[in-house]
Structure 1
């Protein structure tokens, strides 16, 4: 285990959480930044103490009957343990290895925090090239935009950097405009098996922007669609020149993608553009995208740059910089909104901090697997990435529960996990439910997972992990054009109902 001056304590993490408790208003395209929808923040950070309300009932019947009643196809594997002692309360096929989906982010969280430290921030800088200087508004030399791997960088942040350069008097440069994205390895997409237009599956680089998504809008008038691409945020709508899209006369596929000559090229089926609309599409060449947007932002402020060149260069004089939130706040949002790019950037940064040279997600995830086994005694993990998006990742719920018990003793992870809302028979949030749950969900088509902590009122805390997976059905629908295959929504609904039934059952058994 690596420890340095930024080693963790429960107090330092909670202080960071409280300092960053004001979460930005989140996106709904087209007018806001491309962040996933917000959920309500918890009023408390670390405590698991539900309000008074309806009493818990002691369950009757066998676990097998509960699982059968759920009506789920495929396999379901579950375990509940005493969160303090690790003693098993109930289990079913707990050693079956299944995809964890986004519950993997709970593992990445402590890997990143313990390795990088609570004070770590991702930093994006604008620098001069070696020997360059500004004279009478002209930079005599190169201008460098250097990424620090920040997965949360947005257009408004770049706009502030551009404004700061103009305030310093910069109007033009005589040299090159260099984009250095070498802080992290360049990865074209997290999981090649995902639908081509899935915005949750972008590329990754040392310089990222808008969660590596580009805004695609279309306005339909008189039977014709006008298409546009931009990198909009709350205050800025810069156009994008390195990514284009055109409508093609066809029905399927709805989208195609290609990268040629340094440009990303999309096509969309004209038959899908019947009325005006918008969506975010994934960016596969993030550094080129960010450099292009920064150039447009400076041009709008009267400072002209040449086209960006992707290159690694030595550090120069810092002209302006943007620093992300401290890592606890970044990871808290990652767990709340399940942002895949944040998990991957944090995981890669942690592996690189350990002195491991990696060129892809799988080797970095292998280090995560080993680290969790070494530190928390949770062996047998086989993650292929840090977000859980790759279907090939495998865990057992027994290993996940072992990790949750060990991580809880540090007093950090429960406060980072979001409140998991329990619901009544009509699906409405139940604010006075006798069990409070903090957990991470995970969803792929025909895979549904939930892992975390449950605190029955007046009872002992429980650590649990639940995964339902119908992998043959997932495989059979892989070629479907839809990003949500037929039957997947109903299947996931049944899986989530089962998850609540199990938590209530375990609270009754152990409370």
Structure 2
């Protein structure tokens, strides 16, 4: 693995030095890369005998000096580090205070608590709506005095272009590869629970959140006597029909499965709560028509900045996709599909960071066809006004010593976004060193040959993947500690 040294980010760094630190621009238009004593990071990488590609770029936010550059121009899959791009993209397009609304409309006349027409549950693209909030929406509807709906109960989900799944190359049963629509619930996942009673399994599917666990019929599952595959999926129109291999189940357990009809799923849950309040509703039906009529009640999401903070902390893929697609719609003035929206984010990043060349296929990083170089990642992190937006909402990354205890040093902090796929491990963000330097960094590692071979095994976690990713994370920790506590 070669070690290259170069000056980078001159224009952006000098602008940042002026705007973020109140100092005069650098006199040299191309700051000189610093060569660390004994090339310690290069040695750390070499000692690991790391398979695949490893790239790292570290730059000083105040001076623009490049502290490290190892294969910095090699583009690799960014995995969930993509979400750092998405957070900035969405906040700048929609504004930090932007909220998503889920509303209920009455299309007809209401008299004496009876709606002579249709009731419409309309999504506004909220990716974080959960069952407890749907329950609150139904409670609001009760408080309007509505008791009966004589027409249909309709659900509308076209506030975003529907996408069956984020990445078609992933397994159908992965809860983190959900459908994307304008009306989403519980990150478009259903909770599957099983328990062996005698010789048979008892199963349940529900839409649980913190306080409620309503049963659902829009997703059903059957345990079958086979060894493989573990799951099969069939779309039967208005229902997700799953089977699971009995040999793969222990005596009891649970997991989340994706929902492929989120609007009907949400509608069923809303109707359950509405009926509990005495409101008569029919089985939900999807409608392609944008809602009209009288707005009755609404639920407003948390502000976008808080939503992006949660996304960066918990790496929720649906949040990233809905936020990214909403940002593209706001910028372009029209709804766009996932791939087109991701291309729009790539073009935005190129302009935002003055000439970088990322290539995104989604906004979450789930698709392994996206490509970003460590150099381009750091270029974005170092662009004017980016650190002030991203750093406060990024996750704290604790540094851990050889004794596996967290290193408690108030002088040092790391705020960053992690990314993980099988045989892909990424980390990018900001580190404040013990000497008060603010650094932007990106560590990208991938073994794409091993990843492709792993896909052929058909395993969710193919042989060797966990060990490879664990070694990558340890290397990241060692590099961060070197940067944070180095004497220079």
Aligned to 1:78: 56
Counterpart secondary structure, 1:486: coil
Aligned counterpart in structure 1 of residue 156 of structure 2, from 180, 184, 189: 180
Deviations 1:448-500 (A, max 9, x none): 00000111012321111001100110100113343222221111111011112
Q: 1:446 to 1:407 in 2, by over 3 A?
A: farther
Structure 1 residue 383, shift from structure 2 partner: 0.8
Instruction: Tell me the distance in 1 between the aligned counterparts of 2:471 and 2:68.
Output: 21
Match of 2:76 among 98, 115, 124: 98
Distance of aligned partners of 1:433 and 1:118 in 2 relative to their CA distance in 1, 3 Å threshold: closer
Q: CA RMSD in A?
A: 1.7
- Where does residue 265 of structure 1 map in the other structure? 241
Question: 417, 427, 431: which is aligned to 1:440?
Answer: 417
Partner of 2:279: 303
Contact between 1:378 and 1:402, CA under 8 Å: does it hold in 2? no
Question: 1:131-171: CA deviations, max 9, x gaps?
Answer: x1222221111101010100110011111111121222222
Q: Distance in 2 between matches of 1:408 and 1:94?
A: 23
The whole-number CA distance in structure 2 between the counterparts of 1:93 and 1:326 is 38
- Bigger drift between 371-380 and 253-262 goes to 371-380
Deviations along 1:61-112, whole A, 9 cap, x unmatched? 5543221212321110111111223321111111111000000100111110
Q: Distance in 1 between matches of 2:52 and 2:388?
A: 35
Structure 2, unpaired ranges of 5+: 1-35
2:242 paired with 1:281: no
Match of 2:470 among 475, 493, 505: 493
Alignment match of 1:394 (pick from 355, 371, 388): 371
- SS of match in other structure, 1:328: helix
Residue from 56, 68, 73 that aligns with 2:46: 68
Assess if the C-alpha contact under 8 Å between 2:434 and 2:485 holds in 1.
Answer: no
Q: CA deviation at 1:434?
A: 5.6
Matches within 5 A, 1:336-355: 336-355=313-332
1:187-336 correspondence runs (5 A): 187-311=163-287, 312-336=289-313
Q: Residues 286 and 473 from structure 1, CA distance in 2 versus in 1: closer, same or farther, beyond 3 angstroms?
A: same
Aligned to 1:117: 95
Does structure 1 retain, via aligned residues, the 8 Å contact 2:132–2:209? yes
Normalising by structure 1, we get a TM-score of 0.85
Change beyond 3 A, Cα 1:362–1:142? same
Residues 256 and 266, structure 1, Cα contact 8 Å, conserved in 2: yes
Q: Which residue of 2 aligns with 1:482?
A: 459
Provide the C-alpha distance between the structure 2 equivalents of 1:421 and 1:104, rounded to a whole number of angstroms.
Answer: 21
SS at match of 2:383: helix
Bigger mean CA offset, 61-70 vs 299-308? 61-70
Deviation at 1:412, TM superposition (A): 1.6
How many Å separate the matches in 2 of 1:351 and 1:459? 37
What number of residue pairs does the alignment pair up? 452
Query: Hey, what's the Cα distance between the residues in 2 that align with 1:369 and 1:61?
Result: 33
2:433, 2:483 within 8 Å by CA — same for their partners in 1?
A: no
User: What is the distance in 1 between the residues matched to 2:266 and 2:62?
Assistant: 46
Partner SS, residue 361 of structure 2: coil
Per the TM alignment, residue 295 of structure 1 is displaced from its structure 2 partner at its CA by 1.5
Q: Kindly tell me: are residues 481 and 428 of structure 1, through their superposed partners in 2, closer, same or farther at Cα, counting changes over 3 Å?
A: farther
Please list the CA deviations of residues 315-358 of structure 1 after superposition, one character each: whole Å capped at 9, or x if unmatched.
Answer: 32111110011111000000000101001000000000113534
Contact 1:414 1:453 (C-alpha < 8 Å) held by counterparts: yes
Structure 2 residue corresponding to 1:383, chosen from 360, 372, 377: 360
| Residue in structure 2 matched with residue 136 of structure 1 by the alignment | 112
Distance 1:452-1:407 versus aligned 2 partners, 3 A rule: farther
TM-score by length of 2: 0.89
